[in-house]
Chain A
Amino acid sequence: MNDGFSLNEKYVKKVIIQFLAVLMILVTTGFFLRFEVNDLLNATLEQAMAKQTADLSIIAEERFAKELAELKIVAKYLEEQPNMATEENFLRILKSGNENVSVGLMRLDETAILGKVISKWDFLRFPTAYRGNEVVDYCNGKGLLFAVPVMHGGNVKAVVYRLYDENLLSELFGLSEYNYGSDVRLLIQERNGRIIIPYKNYGEAEKNFFKDEAIINGFNAIRDKLERNKSASVYCKSSTGRFFLFATDLPQTNCTMIGYIEWAAVAGDIFRIYTLILSIGLLMLIVLAFVSAYLFVMKTKAEESDALREAKKAAEAASNAKSDFLANMSHEIRTPINAIVGMNEMILRESQNPDVIGYAQNLAAASETLLSLINDILDFSKIESGKFSLIEGNYSLKDVIRSLVTMMKPRADKKGLKFDLKINPELENNLFGDSIRIRQIVLNFLSNAVKYTNVGGVELTADSEKISDYEINLRFTVKDTGIGIKQEDISRIFNDFERFDTEKNKNIEGTGLGLAITYKLVKMMNGKIDVQSVYGEGSTFTVTIPQKVIGGELIGEFDKESGFSHEKYRPAFIAPDAEILVVDDNEMNLLVAVNLLKGTKIKVDTAISGFSCLKKLTERHYDLIFLDQMMPSLDGIQTLKTARAMDDNLSKNIPAIVLTANAISGAKEMFLREGFDDYLSKPIDVRIMEQMLMKYLPAEKILPPPDEESPSEPTEEKIPATDEKFINAEMGLEYCAGMKDFYKEVLQKFVELREDKQKKLQASFAAQDWKNYTIQIHSLKSTALSIGGEKTSEAAKKLETAGKILTSPSSSELEKQANAEFINKNHATAMKLYDKLAEEAKRLAETL
């Protein structure tokens, strides 16, 4: 947390720095832009001012032209009417009574005909008039002179002039009419720089203005510009403020009109563009801020999601580590339990002392509890890690209930509790679903009921509710008279690891996971659990699970007999010819395996490592191999792969079954993928192991176990045609190691194969092919026996014996004939028995 915070702070700092950097760039750019725009605008304004100033020049020019035009009219008249009277008249008109205006007529010899003499030393341009040109000239102190020649043909005869006194000038130049009004200061100066015509209120301030160095430089710049421009304007920043200076040459004179105006008066409006730039800059800043904020948020989000991803990864890794740990632990725990269970099994088998057997049975029960605890933990870890999946298939509800009864009845009996069963005979028997987990769910309720009930009894009710033709809600109710659950605790009982009344229940075993697992399993099956409880009086757990119905068979009246008891172990088969290899790095496990298989008479070889396994495989042929997965240096998978690839392997394609305590779900599929034929979890359940051996060992090597009570001798030649019972189901079941599923499958297989086999038998019989007949009848003998068809098997056995004698080269002709006759006589009966057996097998298979 602390780290995250400081990281964030650091990041924020970084972002702020970046933002400031960008801001600085922006501000710098803004300043640069401002100056650029400023210069640009001033330059533009200078141009505009220059143009406007040029207009001033034109205005002045027009004034001058008007003046000259008047004089020209007079000159023309004088040219045409050369007499003194006219001259005087016209001059009076020209003077128009103004005292500040003087008019006159000059001779070429610079003497006056009328008016006063104009000196060419005052008005330097005046002599140009003698050359026939019009003159506008200014003399400081004397005024502004306009002069026009009076012609005589192509020659100049005289010059007429009009001179304006200085104080009339600003009016004459129209300075007061200049557009900018009072803001502007206009004056006229000679081109040598002398100011000659000030505006009206030319005072001390203005004198100082012209003394300012910046202004002087400005006017110098203007003078330079005027070299090649009609008018010029310059932006100037002096100590008294910002100004535009401007000037234009007055045409035909030696004069320049100059002026200045305050910057603001000209620029005022245009420079609102500053505001515009500022606004846009501000807008840019805002956009930048938004973009930055957006990116910041985005980045933070990205980082957060990164952090989340990493956290998730870490959590997953931790979870995986937990799973691995659990799997490893389960292995570690199962290994010793394996030894305990195995050794205990040995004791149970071999001890004759009833006390010892009693202890061993207690030990077995404790081991089983321990195992179930581990299984709980494993289930839980699987569910938690999502690796758990339901394994659905067809099953018989009856079998499930029977196994529940088998499991729970002894426990209830042991505590002196009544164990009641209320199974609705209308219940559908053949269902589709995960029978193992359903069994686990109900078993959990039953276990709890037995566990928490000391007086009274436990009642299991099974019922169903039809949803559709193909689906039912299967309902189990487990009712006890136990301690009950407090009302406030009911909602919590399905929480993980919860146990209540810890004080009271401290002597009760369990992980506290049972109900949590149950709850999760029910949820996975879309079922629901209902709990009713009165504290101190008892509880009722009802679980409802939707299941698919396969076939219309009903469960019928439930046989309450428990088929399970701790009888003396009897092997399901013997295979004295079979030879198998068991590989495990744990010698105890090897010992257990060897001892477990003692009864089957299988020759068991062992190897303590993958390497010794590979060595042994090159020395001898085995029928099957059990291979432990968890071995140092060369594990089960590696060993198998190497063995399969070895050329000198004498047992290259034999079935390989992996032994593993690693009971994580998905492991089985993995092992099958890696090349194993099957999977056997440790601790080894001897029945499952035997079943596997029966499945994978070559069929001819499997023999029925020797009966302890020696099998009855055939007493009669004649096989009774009609016997009510053709199948000894118990026997058949025993051949199938008590596994009904297996038995059922065998029965079905038997029924399925009957037609074909019978045909072959009939064919051989008809063809008197005794050799094949003997083989076929042998097959019938063993298969019939494997499903418990004792009578049929017996009949077949006799026929087989006969066939053997018949086909034996050592037999005499007489013997042959007698046996052939025996076969001919009994074949039909045997076939009938075969039919009956098959019929009954079919029936039995259906009820199982």
Chain B
Amino acid sequence: MKLLTMLNKYRIAVVLAIIFLLMIPFVTMIFDFAGTEKVRHEKIGLIILGDTKINGWNSEHYNGIKSACEKFGLELLLREKVRENSGECPLAIKELAEEGVGMIFLASYAYSREVKDLVREYPNIAFATNSAEVHDNNLTSYFARLYQARYLSGALAGMRTKSNVIGYVAAMPNTEVQRGINAFTLGVQRTNPNAKVVVMWTGSWQNEKVEAEHAKRLIKEAGADVLTYHQDEDATAQVAEEFGVDFIAYNEILNGYSDHYLTSVVCIWELYYSDMIRRYLKGELNSIDNHWLGIEHDAVMLSDYSPRVSSEMVTELNSLKQELKNDKLIFSGQIYDNKGQLRCENGEAISDDTLLENINWLVKGVEVLE
């Protein structure tokens, strides 16, 4: 009776409670449905050699990938100052994997070799590297056809040099660097068949002291009056400024820094990384072996020319650029290396595969200063 009275008293509550109870399966059902939606990996990892706060290769890449991640609403996890061949890179990969990244950019050339085996242990993580020397199912090479900009910058250097000696401070003789030197040299030869390119190897991507020394030697010993470089930072540019020698920068725009600055070989990394991440999100990353964006996509270019570059030169450079955009192949037709070996016959073109993986020679017209 008491229970009944109570039941009566809280009748509405009881009815509501019953409705609530009846609704539980519905709610659970809805949540069950909602739960079936797959959660995607929303984190991107970046492993890079230097300090991303210092201008140059590292900051350009970092900023590019950061913009791309923001565009897609992804989180970027950074591991910087990770030295090559030191065991730091595998450690960084493990850390990032534990943090749940879906994709890792290995943004220094030698990383891919070092972690070749480790990559296989993370089949669910898409790796991307700027070195084309190593491939795997989940390791995609990415690079821009920077050599196209090198070619144009070579054309500019050929037009600028008076001494017909152009100095080139380069890190090491690998495919990437030699491809750049070759394209540069072909560019020089396009505008100035008499000029030669003198290369000095520093043996490292980042070594300010050696770079500066080499730059001075190229000016003093080789008599170069235009300098360019293939290093992560800009020690060469500082020497050129110091000695009043024209220079073409790499990967950073130095307008206003020096009167002797001509232009810079740049890559729009944001564009590049956006493309990569889109492909990653679409699941296409490993279905295309190489993905090489070039000047036709405005992914690589020469930055705005300094006042030192005359309008005639600009016109010339623009027409060369248009050629490239119209699918002119730089490495086509008859090409000899500096040892006299024929690398490309008439009517042929060096394939992308070779350019990416297998340039172990320097084109005719290149000298190496030891």
Q: Which residues of A contact B (CB under 8 A)?
A: 18, 22, 25-26, 29, 33, 36-37, 40-41, 43-44, 47, 54, 61, 107-109, 120, 127, 130-133, 149, 151-152, 154-157, 226-230, 249, 251-252, 277, 280, 284, 287-288, 291-292, 295, 298-299, 301-302
Contacts and interface: CB of A to CB of B under 8 A. Distances in A.
Contacts of B282: 226, 228-230, 249
A111 to B, nearest CB: 10
Nearest to B25: A280
Contacts of B347: 107-109, 157
* Majority secondary structure of chain A interface residues (helix, strand, loop or mixed): helix
Given A22-B15, A149-B351, A284-B22, 9 more contacts: A37-B33, A40-B33, A40-B34, A61-B287, A109-B347, A120-B327, A154-B358, A228-B278, A295-B14
Given A151-B351, A251-B284, A295-B7, A130 B329 contact: yes
Contacts of B350: 132, 154-156
B72 interface: yes
Interface string B342-368: 001101111111100010000000000
A287 B15 CA distance: 10
B163 interface: no
A25 B12 CA distance: 13
Contact of B30 (A25, A40, A251): A40
20 contacts: A37-B30, A40-B34, A44-B36, A61-B287, A108-B347, A108-B349, A132-B350, A132-B352, A132-B354, A154-B350, A154-B354, A155-B348, A155-B349, A156-B349, A280-B26, A287-B18, A291-B18, A295-B7, A295-B8, A295-B14
A108 B334 CA distance: 13
A155 B12 contact: no
Contacts of A277: 26
A130 B327 contact: yes
B186 to A, nearest CB: 15
B349 to A, nearest CB: 5
Question: Which 9 A-B residue pairs are closest in the complex by CB-CB distance?
Answer: A132-B351, A154-B354, A127-B327, A228-B281, A155-B348, A230-B282, A40-B33, A230-B283, A156-B349
Given A152-B345, A154-B350, A228 B15 contact: no
B359 to A, nearest CB: 10
Nearest to B3: A298
Interface string B48-67: 00000000000000000000
A298 B327 contact: no
* Majority secondary structure of chain B interface residues (helix, strand, loop or mixed): helix
Contacts of B36: 44
A295 to B, nearest CB: 5
B39 interface: no
Interface residues of B, number: 42
A130 B7 CA distance: 86
B333 to A, nearest CB: 9
Contacts of A284: 19, 22
Nearest to B348: A155
B85 to A, nearest CB: 28
A288 B19 contact: yes
A33 B24 CA distance: 12
A763 to B, nearest CB: 74
A37 B352 CA distance: 52
Contacts of A302: 4-5, 8
B37 A47 contact: yes
B23 interface: yes
Contacts of B5: 302
A400 B347 CA distance: 157
Contacts of A25: 19
A124 to B, nearest CB: 9
Contacts of B33: 37, 40-41, 44
B351 A227 contact: no
A120 B4 CA distance: 89
A155 B344 contact: yes
B7 A131 contact: no
Interface in B32-46: 33-34, 36-37
B332 interface: yes
A298 B7 contact: yes
Contacts of A152: 345, 348
A156 B282 CA distance: 31
A131 B352 CA distance: 5
B339 interface: no
Nearest to A292: B15
Contact of A155 (B4, B14, B345): B345
A836 to B, nearest CB: 73
A503 to B, nearest CB: 54
Given A44-B36, A288-B19, A298-B7, A18 B12 contact: yes
A109 B332 CA distance: 10
A154 B361 CA distance: 14
B15 A291 contact: yes
A643 B12 CA distance: 62
A111 B104 CA distance: 44
A720 B57 CA distance: 163
Contacts of A292: 15
B116 interface: no
Contacts of A280: 25-26
A23 to B, nearest CB: 11
A33 B352 CA distance: 57
Interface in B94-140: none
A230 B281 CA distance: 8
A155 B278 CA distance: 31
Nearest to B26: A33
Given A131-B329, A154-B351, A295-B14, A26 B19 contact: yes
A18 B19 CA distance: 14
A149 B347 CA distance: 13
Give the most central of A22, A154, A249, A302: most B CB within 10 Å.
A154
Contact of A299 (B8, B22, B37): B8
Given A108-B332, A131-B329, A299 B18 contact: no
A108 B19 CA distance: 77
Contacts of B12: 18
Give the most central of B37, B349, B354: most A CB within 10 Å.
B349
A228 B30 CA distance: 27
B284 A29 contact: no
A155 B344 CA distance: 7
Contacts of A37: 29-30, 33
Contact of B281 (A41, A130, A149, A229): A229
A249 B279 CA distance: 11
Contacts of B329: 108, 130-131
A251 B265 CA distance: 31
Nearest to A43: B37
B348 A108 contact: yes
A553 to B, nearest CB: 56
B162 interface: no
Interface in B322-345: 327, 329, 332, 344-345
A133 B352 contact: yes
A36 B351 CA distance: 55
Contacts of A108: 329, 332, 347-349
Contact of B23 (A29, A40, A291): A29
A107 to B, nearest CB: 6
B15 A131 contact: no
Nearest to B34: A40
B349 A295 contact: no
B220 interface: no
A252 B29 CA distance: 41
Contacts of A54: 283
A314 B113 CA distance: 103
A131 B278 contact: no
Contacts of A127: 327
Nearest to A22: B15
Contacts of B287: 61, 251
B301 to A, nearest CB: 19
Interface in B274-292: 278, 281-284, 287-288
Contacts of A156: 348-351
